[in-house]
Structure 1
C-alpha cells in the first residue's frame, strides 16, 4: 500500500481505537452518579470497572490468534459491532447487574480493537516503516486519556443529556470507523485449513478471569491471605497449567508457545508486565490525588493530566519517526524505560504541598518514558515474528501489559488504602477527634463537607500515600529496564515477511 493508502486505512483504525479507549475513560467521572441512580453499592462500583477490564484482557490473545486465521478486516468490523451493541445495552441499563453485563460485552470489543489495530498495521507496513505510524497510536492514547474525563464530566453536568450519553457518545464514531474501513482497508486474505482451539481459548479465558477477579477484589471483598484467596489462586493456576498443556499439543494454539523460544519476545513480554504494573498501577491514582489532596474539580484534575499525556504524545511520535529513519530501536527503548524509572522516583517525592508546576514536570518525565516504551516493545516483538504469527505475537505484548496493569491497580490500591487509613487515624488522634471505625478512615470523604482541620488530615494522608505508591512502583520499572538491556537488537526488516518466509514463497517463472 502507498503512503496515502496507509494513512486512509489508518484513519479508520485509529478512529476505532479512539472509541474503544474513550469507553474506559469517559465514565470515570460519571461512575458515582451512575451507581447512585441505579441504586448500586461499592461492590457494584468496582464491578462496573472490573467487568470491562476482565473481558478486555481475557479476549485479547484470542482476537490476536483469530487475526492469523481469518480476515482481519472482517474481525475489526465485527469488533466495532460488538462494541456498539455493548454501548447501547449499557446506555439502556435499568439495573447495576444489567450494566455490568453490558460493560463486559463492551470489553470484548475493546480487547479486539486493542489487539487488531496493531496486527493490521503490522500487515500493511514493514517494521522499518512502522515506527512513523506507531507514533499515531500514542497520540490516540493521549487524546482519549485527556478528552475522556472531560467529555464525561460535561455530559453528566448537562441536565438534558445525563450519564447514559457517556455510553452513547462513542457510537457515531464507531459507525464512521466501520464505513471508513470498508472503503479504505484492502487486505489480502490468505485461506488456511485451520481448526480453532476452543479448549485452549476456554482454559486461557477461565484461568485469566479467575486470577483477575481475585486481584481486583482481594483486599476489598476479602483478605489477601484468606480461604477465598487460596481457592481462587489455586483454580486459576490449575486452569492456566491445563491451558499450557493443551497449547503444546494442538495444531493451531491460541498462544503459540514457540514464540517464547525467541529471547526478544520473552524479555519483551516480561518487560510489558513490569511496565503495566508500574505505569497503570500508579498513574490511575493521579486523578484521585488532584481531587482529594489538592482540592480540584474533576474537570480540572483531568486537565492536569495534560503534562503526562503531552510527554507521551511528543515521545511516541518523535521516537517513532527517528526509528523509521535509522532502523535502530533499542537505544530508545532503554532510554524510555530509564525515564520511567526516573519519573516514578521523582513522583515518589510528592505530597499534598508540592508545587503543581513541579508535579507537572515530574509527570512529563514519566510520560516521555511511557511514549518511548509502550509501542517499541510491540515493535521489537513484531520484527522477530513470522507474518503468520503476527497476530498472536502482537496481542501477546498487549495482553501481558494489561494483565500487569490489572495486578498493579489492585496491589497499589490496597497499599494506598492502608497508608491513608493509618495516616488518617494518626492525624485524627492528634486533633483529638475519634474515628468511628477503621472503615471510616478508609472511605473516600466528601472533602467539601469536612471541617478545615479534618480536611487537612485527609489531604495530607492522600498526598503522602500517593507519593509512596510511586516509590513502590519504581522497582517494577527498574526490572523492565533490566529486561530491555538484555534484548538483542535486530535491525528492523524492510519487508512484511521475514527472510525465511520470503524464500518459501513461490517464484514467478522466468520469461523470455
Structure 2
C-alpha cells in the first residue's frame, strides 16, 4: 500500500473508532437525566456503565482470535454494525433494564472495535513505519474522549433533542465509516480451515464477567468477606481454570498459552494491567475531584482534563515519529513510564485547595507519559509475535489493560470511599459535630441536602482523599516501569503483518514442493482476484514498504 492508500484506509477505521469512543463517553453527563427520566435507582445507574465495560472486556480476546481466522475487514464492519444497532436500540429504551441490556450489546461491538482497529492497522503497516500514523490515531482518541461529555451535555440541555439523541447521534457517522471501510480497506482475505473454540470463549467470558461483577458490587451490595463474595470468586476462578484446561486441548485456542512463554508478551501484559488500573481508575476519580471537591460543572471538568489529553496526543505523535526514524522503541517507553510515575506522584500531593495551574501541569506531565507508553507497549508485542498470532496477541494486551481498568475503578473507589469517610468524620469532629464515628449518610447524593458548612467538609474530604487514589496509581506506575525495564528490545520489523504472512506462505510452498501448491498454508483471495504483486523472493521487503 502506498502512503495515500494507507491514509485512505485509516480514514474509515479511525472514523469507526471515533464513533465508538464518542458513543461510549457521550452518556457520562447525560446519565443523571436518563436515570431520572426512566425512574431508575442508584444501583441501576452504576450498571448502565458497567454493562458496556463488562461486555467489551470479556469479548475483546474473542474478537482478536477471530481476526486471526477470518477477514479483518468483515469483522470490523460486523463489530461497528453491532455497536451502532445497540446504540440505536438503547435510544428507544423505555426502562432502565432495557437500557442496560442494549448497553451490553454496545459493549460487544466496542470490544471488537477497540481490538480490531489496532489489528487491522498492524496488518497494513510495518512496526517501523507505524509511528508515522501515531498522530492521527492519538488525535481521534483524544478528541472523542473530550468531545463526548461536552456533546452529551449540550444534547441534554437542548429541549428539542433530549437524551435519546445521545445514542442516535453516532448512527450517521457509523454509516459513513462503514462506507469508507468498504471502499478503502483492502486487506487480503485468508481462506483456510478453522476450528473455533466456542467452549473456551464461553468459559473465558463467563469467568471474567463473574469476577468483574464481584469487584463491582463487593463493598456496596455485600461485604468483601461475605459468603456471596466468596461464592462469586470461587465460580470465577473455576471457570477460568476450566478455560485454561480447554485451551491446552483445542487446535485453535482463544488465547494461546504459548503467548505467555514469550518474554516480551508476558512482561507487556503485566505492565498493561498496572497501566490500566492506574489510568482508568485515576481518570474516573479525577472528574469526580473537579466536580465535587472543586465545584466545577461537568462540562468544565471535561475542559480541565485537556492538559492530559493534549499532552498524550503530542507525545504519541512525536514519539511515533522518533520510533519510525530510529527503529528503536524501548527508550521511548521507559521515558514514558518515568513521566507516568512523576505525574501520578505529583497528583498524589493535591488537596481541595491546590492551585489549578499546578494540577494542569501535573496532568500534562502524566499525559506525556501515557502517550509514549500506551500504544507503544502494543507495538512491542506486535513486533515479536508470529503473523498468525498478531490479532490474538494484540487483543490479549488490550484485554488485560481493560481488565486492570475495570478492577482499578472498583478497588480505588473502595479506597476513596474509606478515605473520604475517615476525613469527613475527622472534619466534623474538628467542627464540633458528633457523627457517631460514621459519615455514611454524607454521600454524593446528599450533598445538596446538607447544610453548607457540613457540605463543605464533605467536599474537602473528597478533595483530600483523591490524593490517596493517585498515590496507589503512582505505585502501580512504578511496577510498570520496573516491568518495562526487563523487556528486551527487538529491532522493529520493516514488513507489515500481511507481508510477513505472504512470506510464510511462500516458504511453506517452497518446502512442500517448489511452488506446486500451498502446503498447510492459506490461500489469498484479493479483492480484485489478482495474485499478490510482491512476495518473498521477488522484491526486497524494504523496497515493498517504501513503494
Rg larger in structure: 2
**2:456 counterpart of 1:442:** no
Deviations 1:270-324 (A, max 9, x none): 1000100111111211111111111111111110010110111101111111101
Supply the distance in 2 between the matched residues of 1:292 and 1:97 (Cα, whole angstroms): 28
Partner-residue secondary structure (3-state), 1:384: coil
Q: Indicate if the aligned counterparts of 1:333 and 1:372 stay in contact, CA closer than 8 A.
A: yes
Q: Indicate if the aligned counterparts of 2:382 and 2:394 stay in contact, CA closer than 8 A.
A: yes
Supply the distance in 2 between the matched residues of 1:403 and 1:360 (Cα, whole angstroms): 28
1:34-183 equivalences in 2 (<5 Å): 34-183=34-183
Q: Indicate if the aligned counterparts of 1:386 and 1:501 stay in contact, CA closer than 8 A.
A: no
Q: Indicate if the aligned counterparts of 2:345 and 2:471 stay in contact, CA closer than 8 A.
A: yes
Supply the distance in 1 between the matched residues of 2:450 and 2:11 (Cα, whole angstroms): 48
Q: Indicate if the aligned counterparts of 2:447 and 2:455 stay in contact, CA closer than 8 A.
A: no
Deviations 1:48-79 (A, max 9, x none): 01100000000000000001101111111111
Supply the distance in 1 between the matched residues of 2:484 and 2:421 (Cα, whole angstroms): 37
Q: Which moved more, 1:450-459 or 1:226-235?
A: 450-459
Deviation at 1:172, TM superposition (A): 1.1
Supply the distance in 1 between the matched residues of 2:475 and 2:507 (Cα, whole angstroms): 45
Deviation at 1:503, TM superposition (A): 6.9
- What is the aligned length? 510
Question: Under a length normalisation based on structure 2, what TM-score does the superposition of the two structures give?
Answer: 0.91
Q: Indicate if the aligned counterparts of 2:424 and 2:439 stay in contact, CA closer than 8 A.
A: no
Deviation at 1:430, TM superposition (A): 2.8
Supply the distance in 1 between the matched residues of 2:445 and 2:332 (Cα, whole angstroms): 40
Q: Indicate if the aligned counterparts of 2:339 and 2:366 stay in contact, CA closer than 8 A.
A: yes
Supply the distance in 1 between the matched residues of 2:77 and 2:245 (Cα, whole angstroms): 33
Q: Indicate if the aligned counterparts of 1:435 and 1:441 stay in contact, CA closer than 8 A.
A: no
| Aligned counterpart, 2:529 | none
Supply the distance in 2 between the matched residues of 1:341 and 1:266 (Cα, whole angstroms): 21
Structure 1, unaligned runs of 5 or more: none
Supply the distance in 2 between the matched residues of 1:322 and 1:505 (Cα, whole angstroms): 36
Supply the distance in 1 between the matched residues of 2:269 and 2:506 (Cα, whole angstroms): 29
| Aligned counterpart, 2:521 | none
1:86-485 equivalences in 2 (<5 Å): 86-435=86-435, 438-447=439-448, 450-485=450-485
| Aligned counterpart, 1:504 | 507
Partner-residue secondary structure (3-state), 1:441: coil
Supply the distance in 1 between the matched residues of 2:305 and 2:446 (Cα, whole angstroms): 23
Deviation at 1:197, TM superposition (A): 0.5
Deviation at 1:434, TM superposition (A): 4.8
Root-mean-square deviation (CA, aligned residues, Å) is 1.7
Supply the distance in 2 between the matched residues of 1:144 and 1:90 (Cα, whole angstroms): 20
Deviation at 1:149, TM superposition (A): 0.8
Partner-residue secondary structure (3-state), 1:440: coil
Deviation at 1:32, TM superposition (A): 1.0
Supply the distance in 2 between the matched residues of 1:16 and 1:424 (Cα, whole angstroms): 45
Q: Indicate if the aligned counterparts of 1:387 and 1:496 stay in contact, CA closer than 8 A.
A: no
Q: Indicate if the aligned counterparts of 1:86 and 1:105 stay in contact, CA closer than 8 A.
A: yes
Partner-residue secondary structure (3-state), 2:189: coil
Partner-residue secondary structure (3-state), 1:285: helix
Deviation at 1:328, TM superposition (A): 0.3
Q: Indicate if the aligned counterparts of 1:420 and 1:442 stay in contact, CA closer than 8 A.
A: no
1:486-505 equivalences in 2 (<5 Å): 486-497=486-497, 501=504, 504-505=507-508
Deviation at 1:227, TM superposition (A): 0.9
Structure 2, unaligned runs of 5 or more: 516-536, 539-547
Partner-residue secondary structure (3-state), 1:349: coil
